[in-house]
Amino acid sequence: METKYFKSLEEIKLDTRQKDNVPAGDKQFILEMQEEVKQATTASRRDFLKVFGFTVASAAIASSCEQPVRKAIPFLVQPEEMIPGKANYYASTFFDGVDYCPVLVKVRDGRPIKIEGNKLSSMTQGATNARTQASVLGLYDDARYKNPSLKGTGISWEEADKQIVEQLEAVKAKGGKIVILSTTVISPSTKAAISKFLEAYPGEHVQYDVLSSSAMREANQMNFGEAFIPSYNFGKADLIVSFDADFLGSWLSPIEFTKQYSKNRKLTDGQRKMSRHIHFEGNLSVTGSNADKRIQLRPSREKATIASLLIQLRSLNGESVASSVNVSADIKALAEELNNNKGTSLVVAGSNDVDTQLMVNAINQLLGNYGSTIRTDVHLKLRQGDDKAMAKLIDEMNKGQVDALFAWDVNPLYDYPEAAKFNAGLAKVGLKVAMPVYRDETASAFDFICPDNHYLESWNDAEAKTGYFTLAQPAIRPIFTTRAAQESFLKWAGHETDFRTFVQKNWEENIYSQSESFENFTAFWNHKLHDGVYESGASENAVSAFDPTPSMNALGNVKESSSDGIELVVYANVGVGTGKQANNPWLQELPDPISKACWDNYVSISPKLADELGLEDEDIVKVGETGPLPVLIQPGQEYKTIAVALGYGRSNAGVPANGVGQNAFPLIAMSNGHKQFTIADVSLTKLDGTYPVARTQTHHSMEGREIIRETTLESYLENPESGNEVREEIKKHLKTLYPKREFDGFHWGMAIDLSSCTGCNACVVACSAENNVPVVGKEQVRKAREMHWIRIDRYYTGDVDNPEIVRQPVMCQHCDNAPCENVCPVAATTHSNEGLNQMAYNRCIGTRYCNNNCPYKVRRFNFFDYNGADAMKGNLKDPAEMATSLRRLVLNPDVTVRAKGVIEKCSFCVQRIQEKKLVAKTENRQLVDGEVVPACAQACPAEAIVFGNLNDPNSKVSKYFASERNYHLLEELHTLPSVGYLTKVKNTTV
């Protein structure tokens, strides 16, 4: 294979799910890049862009009907396994120090264009979250460091290597301290590579977690004698009690937890029980919004509450404790309930406070949850960071004790609470090497910038939990002149080996031995690389027996809090999260599942407190020294608890991210050496003026309409139709003046289980990625012009101070009696003979009549030229820089990029339907139920979305439609939607 550009492909087996069914004759159409591609082996940035000229052109052709075909050059030699117009899927692993997800990377004509969950992983089972879905766009982030540099001047890798090694040698010679500062490393091979480096240059590896769980590690150290994080199984827990642990959003391993959590709460397939989830928190989190019972709790009261629960539980078990802590009636009831669920309950706390975690451990111990819902023999490895080690490092730096610092994929100058201290210390470090993936605030303060590959360009492996191995393989050759950090470490340590070989060797030596069923390593390797997943079933050495003493000591220390001030919670939301991918326009435009705000962070404040302080939405305030921040009144927020999202206020991340929101990391306090994400007694100062916040939903009540139908588990078990009684009544009256159309063959339909949807927004990003949905920027969102084809409506019900939250994903309902189709004057939107409501973009003249007439308001209009597809030039409206030639590479060539003035909407991923139909046809068989999966359903970690053929009575979607819980949105209008919703069932006793 001469074309180095596709070098990664030669080793990779084609995904068997993507059988090559194209007749040989068709391959003559295969396009190829010529000369330039071969020259690109030296791969400077300019060369790269030349090479990409072809791809850009093809993307442009694919994405714009009005752009002329410039030049199509056939492949001189066709790369194996690459068939133009056909996607290949490669198994890989996404881990950026926060989120972990085994994935499949969809590669089209050499470009990774979509991330999907890998179903083979038993840990995530195909689940993804928004950031995983969005990560593919990070690959095409133009702001990334494109080549090594020294003090801002670009240098070659050879030069960088030479100088760094020289300096390392010097440090080593004088016995100076060398430190590698990285995020949590879950890759065994990377750890091996780092060890190799540390062998060559003795030093220290400090792992630093932005969302730290170091207190939990410390607590476990005290209780079990080992600093670790156990693995949790929310799927086995019938009663979940969470103290501010946002386990569906940001706590430890949310993708995995969402999967487990939702599986145990499904009432489909005849399941008649679901877990009960009780949530204590001050801020209204995604997880809290899903709880069966959500109890508002001031962060400062959390410790005492947990203590009271522990006391009560102990007293129930005959072990009394003397304590000044009061036990409320609620807690008594809760303790009773927990006590009845011994071994099938799970109590978690999100706090990064050792005493809290110690008490929670004691509770779980008391309830016998260790060994059932919590395993200590399988460790969750995603949070290995130690706040104390980090603090120590900074101390040492400030003392001038650190001579060489390698900051790999960390951004402490942005996200460490005491960034100034770090900065001061940094000045005293001799050799400063930053190895960032994305442009950030930290790297620019370092002398050397040795940019790391994006994960889609890299080899890697991971062990997220003990024995749960996954592999990562590049889906594209590095776009810029970047190099895998591991390769850099190896190189500097004197090992001239590429990381692929290193990983392979590491697996052969350390992991293969654990497996028996393969004849040799190559077979094993090829198989595991294809699957991307290897689960050995290994477990850790047994930890020592639970030592309750530290927990009891902690309990003894607890005092009732008397704090009366305003308390602050800083949190990572489901989109921007910790800000690592802040430069990702998809994530910036992703509305928060609770507030529905995007493109900013803000201060969430309870209605009562806002009233007291005379604050209204969009007033600006200062929290401590951070601000100005806009205020959003957030029902459900504890009276005196305010919250600010992390991840915003980036100053050096790239155009979409820079200057968006304010950095809330400096608000984080340190307590006992651990970062505290809740801060008591913060000052809230009102400033003059207002600041506009863009929200995709501005009305929050259902106005008493039957939009989301709800019931309780109790009523459901009595009568499966409960909450949905109105449907029978409506059905009786569904008379029509013309007969209902029958569809022979397929009749596509979708069912959405409202009980399952957690509001994680993965579907929204997946849909944007799959369907080339434009990002329109804050100003346009504020004008209510966001383009998302799928949205998750969120309504508050009940009390304004402590409302219940219900949500509902809404996309085009593909009505069989679609009001929109009737009114299009040019027949641009019609009904297909498979029941799809289809849009012919080329035919659309943009009257917006269909949109007006859509009762669900799911149609979206291209108000401006958001992507350069317009025939007129110079009128591009692209504040998020989505239409740069680089970012355009993420476009899905199977989906038309819509021009200015055109209506667009959900197509049920018709391109996927067609693709699978073709596959079935070439294989001369019927389509199998579940074969066609739209992007949203694929992305959903909760499996809330089911898609299939309504004409097949045995399809899953037909069964859902037949369920007593099923109803259609606004069905009384007789629009005959092809989307069904299953009633939301809450496990409450009320």
Partner 1 sequence: MNKYITAYYTDENDLIKGVKQIREKGHNILDVFTPFPVHGLDVALGMRRSRLTRVAFGGGAVGAIVGFGFQAWVFTKAYPLNFGGKPYLSVPSFIPVTFELAVLLAAFSMVIAFFIHFKLGPGAKTVVYDERCTDDRFLVLIDAENAEADEVKKIEKALSDAGAEGITYKE
Partner 2 sequence: MQVLKVSLTKNRNISVMENNTFTLTKKLITICVAMIAVGIIAIAIGFATGVSGTRIVANLHLNNYYFVGMGLIGLFFVAVHAIAESGWQVSMQRIGEAMSVFIPVGGLLMLLVFLFGGMHALFEWTHEDHLDAILLKKVAFLNQPFFYIRFVVYFSGWILLAHLIRKTSRKLDLNGDVHYFNQLRKFSAIYVVFLAITSSTSAWDWLMSIDAHWFSTLYGWYVLSSMLVSGFSMIVIILFILKRMGYMSHVNNEHIHDMGKYMFGLSIFWAYLWFSQYMLIWYANIPEETIYFYERIKYFDTVFYLNLILNFAIPFLLLMARNSKRVFWILIPVAVVIFIGHWLDLYQLIMPGVVGQAEAGIGIVEIGTTIGYLGLFMLVVFYGLTKSSLVPKNHPFYKESLEYHTNY
Partner 3 sequence: MYVSPIREPLIRGEKTYSQVTKDILAPMAGKPSKFWYMGITLAGIALLFGAWATYQTVYYGIGTWGLNKTVGWGWGITNFVWWVGIGHAGTFISAILLLFRQKWRTSINRSAEAMTLIAIACAGFFPLIHMGRLLLGFFIFPYPNTRALWVNFNSPLLWDVFAISTYFAVSLVFWYVGLVPDLGTVRDKAKGKIRKAIYGFLSFGWTGSAKHWSRHETISLILAGLAAPLVLSVHTIVSFDFATSVIPGWHTTIFPPYFVSGAVFSGFAMVLTLLIVARKALNLEEYITVNHIESMNKVIILTGSIVGIAYITEFFIAWYSGVEYEQYAFINRATGPYAWAYWIMMTCNVVTPQLFWFKKIRTSLVATFIISIFVNIGMWFERFVIVVTSLHRDFLPSSWTMYKPSLVEVGLYVGTFGLFFTLFLLFIRVFPVIAIAEVKSVLKSSGENQKHAHHE
The footprint of partner 1 (CB under 8 A) covers 738-741, 815-822, 824, 827, 830-833, 976
To the nearest whole angstrom, how small is the minimum distance from the Cβ of residue 813 to partner 2? 16
Write down the least CB distance from residue 838 to partner 1, Å.
Answer: 10
Calpha distance 336→330 (Å, rounded)? 10
344 to 240, 333, 369: CA distances (angstroms): 9, 17, 7
Min dist. Cβ of residue 159 to partner 3 (A): 48
Helix/strand/coil (H/E/C) assignment for every residue in 868-900: CCCCCCCCECCCCCCCCCCHHHHCCCCCCCCCC
Phi, psi (deg, nearest 5) at residue 430: -75, -65
Stretch that binds partner 2, among 246-254, 572-580, 734-742, 878-886 (CB under 8 A): 734-742
Cα(184)–Cα(882) distance, rounded to whole angstroms? 31
Q: Which does 370 bind (CB under 5 to 8 A by kind): partner 1, partner 2, partner 3, none?
A: none
Q: Which stretch binds partner 3 (CB under 8 A): 45-53, 180-188, 466-474, 815-823?
A: 815-823
**H or E stretch covering 629:** strand 626-633
The footprint of partner 2 on residues 256-295 (CB under 8 A) is none
* Alpha carbon distance 275, 292 (integer Å): 9
Name 865's bridge partners.
Answer: 876
Tokens of 984: 């939301």
311 neighbors 327 (Cβ within 8 angstroms): yes
With a CB cutoff of 8 Å and minimum separation 6, the contacts of 678 are 244, 282, 299, 300, 302, 351, 567, 568, 569, 570
What is the pattern of x (binds partner 3, CB under 8 A) and - over residues 898-917? -xxxxx--------------
- Give me the least distance between CB of 823 and partner 2, in Å please: 9
By beta-carbon proximity to partner 3, the closer residue of 477 and 788 is: 788
Please state the closest distance from residue 768 (CB atom) to partner 3, in A: 15
Decide which of partner 1, partner 3, partner 2, none touches 734; Cβ closer than 5 to 8 Å per partner kind. Answer: partner 2
Measured between alpha carbons, how far is 361 from 943 in angstroms, rounded to an integer? 31
SS (H, E, C) 367-386: CCCECCCEEEEEEECCCCCC
- 793 scored as a contact of partner 3 (CB under 8 A): yes
Choose, by CB under 8 A, the member of 748, 864, 960, 961 that binds partner 3: 864
State in angstroms the smallest separation of the CB of 970 from partner 3.
6
Among positions 734, 784, 872, 962, the unique one binding partner 2 when judged by CB under 8 A: 734
User: Using CB distances below 5 to 8 A depending on partner kind, what does residue 740 bind out of partner 1, partner 3, partner 2, none?
Assistant: partner 1
957-986 binders of partner 2 (CB under 8 A) = 972-974
- Residue 225 in contact with residue 544, Cβ under 8 Å? yes
Q: Is 784 in the site for partner 3 (CB under 8 A)?
A: yes
Nearer CB in complex with partner 3: 358/790: 790
Indicate the pairing of strand 566-571 with strand 678-682. Answer: antiparallel
Determine which residue in the list 235, 607, 819, 879 makes contact with partner 3, applying CB under 8 A. 819
Does position 802 interact with partner 2 (CB under 8 A)? The reply is no
Provide the minimum distance between the beta carbon of 780 and partner 3 in the complex, in angstroms, as a whole number: 7
Residues 414-443 that bind partner 2 (CB under 8 A): none
Instruction: Enumerate residues 810-849 that contact partner 2 by CB under 8 A.
Output: 817, 819, 822
Residue 821 CB, nearest approach to partner 1 (Å): 4
CA distance 913 to 903: 21
Contacting partner 3 within 584-623 (CB under 8 A) = none
- How far is the C-alpha of 306 from the C-alpha of 308, rounded, in Å? 5
Closest CA to 618 of 693, 694, 688: 693
- Interacting positions 957-976 with partner 3 (CB under 8 A): 969-970, 973, 975
Between CA 623 and CA 642 the distance in angstroms is 9
Closer CB to partner 3, 164 or 787, in the complex: 787
Report what 423 binds from partner 1, partner 2, partner 3, none; CB cut-off 5-8 Å by kind. none
Cβ 957 to partner 2 shortest distance, Å? 24
Compute the distance between CA of residue 777 and CA of residue 756 in angstroms, rounded to an integer. 30
579 and 96 Cβ atoms separated by less than 8 Å: no
Nearer to partner 3, 318 or 704 (CB): 704
Instruction: Determine the Cα–Cα distance for residues 101 and 166; give it in Å rounded to an integer.
Output: 38
User: Half-sphere exposure of residue 515, counting CA atoms within 13 Å on the CB side?
Assistant: 24
Task: Tell me whether residue 623 or residue 752 sits nearer to partner 3 (CB atom).
Answer: 752
- List binders of partner 3 among 697-736 (CB under 8 A): 697-705, 707
Binds 815, which of partner 3, partner 1, partner 2, none (CB < 5 to 8 A, cut-off by type)? partner 1
Closer to partner 1 by CB, 175 or 739: give it.
739
State the minimum distance, in angstroms, from the CB of residue 857 to partner 1. 17
Among 320, 520, 736, 954, binds partner 2 (CB under 8 A): 736
Q: Are 55 and 888 in contact (CB under 8 A)?
A: no
**Contact of residue 833 among partner 3, partner 2, partner 1, none (CB under 5-8 Å per partner type):** partner 1
The rounded distance, in Å, linking the Cα atoms of 404 and 397 is 10
**Interaction mask 701-730, partner 2, x per CB under 8 A:** -----------------------------x
Question: What, of partner 1, partner 3, partner 2, none, does residue 831 touch, CB below 5 to 8 Å by kind?
Answer: partner 1
Residue placing its CB nearer to partner 2 in the complex, 736 or 954? 736
**Residue 735 contact among partner 3, partner 2, partner 1, none, beta carbon within 5 to 8 Å by kind:** partner 2
**Candidate residues 735, 744, 827, 924; the one interacting with partner 2 per rule CB under 8 A:** 735
- x/- map, 321-360, partner 3, by CB under 8 A: ----------------------------------------
Which 822-861 positions form the footprint of partner 3 (CB under 8 A)?
822-827, 843-849, 851-853, 855-857, 859-861
Burial of 516: CB neighbours in 10 Å, binned 0-12, 13-18, 19+: exposed
Whether the CB-CB separation of 385 and 352 falls below 8 Å is answered with no
Mapping DSSP onto H, E and C, the string for 175-189 reads CCEEEEEECCCCCHH
Tokens of 610: 């806002």
Which H or E run includes 314? Answer: helix 299-316
Residue 529 binding partner per list partner 1, partner 3, partner 2, none, with a CB distance cut-off of 5 to 8 Å that depends on partner kind: none
The first and second tokens of residue 363, run together, are 């509770």
**Residue 793 interacting entry, from partner 3, partner 1, partner 2, none, C-beta within 5 to 8 Å by type:** partner 3
Residues in contact with partner 3, total (CB under 8 A)? 61
Closest C-alpha among 483, 417, 414, 418 to residue 445: 414
Q: Which CB, 24 or 827, lies closer to partner 1?
A: 827
Query: Which residues have CB under 8 Å from 382's CB, separation 6+?
Result: 95, 100, 184, 186, 229, 252, 253, 464
Q: What's the min distance (Å) between Cβ of 856 and partner 1?
A: 14
> For partner 3, which is the closer residue by CB, 840 or 919?
840
Q: How far apart are CA 3 and CA 35, in angstroms?
A: 9
* DSSP tag of 40: G
Query: Do residues 101 and 126 lie in contact, with contact meaning Cβ atoms separated by under 8 Å?
Result: no
- Interface ranges with partner 3 (CB under 8 A): 697-705, 707, 780, 783-786, 791, 793-795, 810, 819, 822-827, 843-849, 851-853, 855-857, 859-865, 870-872, 875, 877, 899-903, 969-970, 973, 975
Interacting residues toward partner 2 by CB under 8 A = 730, 733-738, 817, 819, 822, 972-974
